[in-house]
Amino acid sequence: MKQPESDSKKNRVRSIFLRIAALFTGTAFLFSACEDNLEKIKAFNSLENLPLMEASHFQTLFTDSGQVTFLLKAPKLLSYETDGVSYTEFPEGIELIRYDEHQRIISSIKANYAKQFEKEDKWEAKNNVIATNAQGDTLKTEHLIWEEKVGRIHTEEFVRIIRTDQIITGIGFQSDQELQNWRIKNPRGTIYIDVQNNP
């Protein structure tokens, strides 16, 4: 039996309506997914994430009244300014050597990663940080902060001080920037080394 023409028209209208609804739903889903991806792409390509300056095999001298005070060496330097905060990153490590007025080395710091916050006159060193003073005392830790303005270095991490006749360990450390007047906040122990001078 032949279906009434009005029912046939209704079925065609319903079918077209369902196709249009499915098309709009799919399009809305597609645009929603694309919008998320576009935001991710914009964030990835944002100029704010790109360094203002990049240098390889970087080396520079800092001077004060014509006297060399520091030598800075780094395999890679990246300079950023984000949300009004300026900083320089050394993602492949750093070596910073401090000199006295007679150009003698009085302290040095090496680390696998470092960051300098310019406005705060503050440095942060991480991962295998090694600092030494003029006497050869060596500080080893995983995190060290140097507040250049006040001439102080400190950490809340585990530290090891290696001297000619002893090794001192503990948690937390603070010192002047020459590593002359230092103290460990929570000493854990001291190992004395028997030093014998063989002729």
Cα R_g (the chain), whole angstroms: 31
What gap in Å lies between CA 25 and CA 138, rounded to an integer?
66
Whether residues 113 and 76 share a domain: the answer is yes
With beta carbons less than 8 A apart as the criterion, state whether 131 and 108 touch.
yes
Q: With beta carbons less than 8 A apart as the criterion, state whether 144 and 125 touch.
A: yes
Q: Say whether both 37 and 121 belong to one domain.
A: no
How far apart, in whole angstroms, are the C-alpha atoms of residue 185 and residue 154?
Answer: 10
Residue 39 carries which side chain, given as an amino acid letter?
Answer: E
Handedness of CA 14, 20, 24, 26 (dihedral sign): positive
Residue 134 lies in a domain: yes
Q: Is residue 198 part of a domain?
A: no
- Regarding whether 77 and 26 lie in a shared domain, the answer is no
pTM of the entire predicted model = 0.69
- pLDDT in single tens digits along all 199 residues of the chain: 455 555 666 666 566 655 666 555 655 555 555 555 556 555 555 555 777 788 899 898 888 888 888 899 999 999 988 777 889 999 999 999 988 888 888 889 999 999 999 888 899 999 999 999 888 899 999 999 999 889 899 999 999 999 888 899 999 999 988 888 899 999 887 777 765 655 5
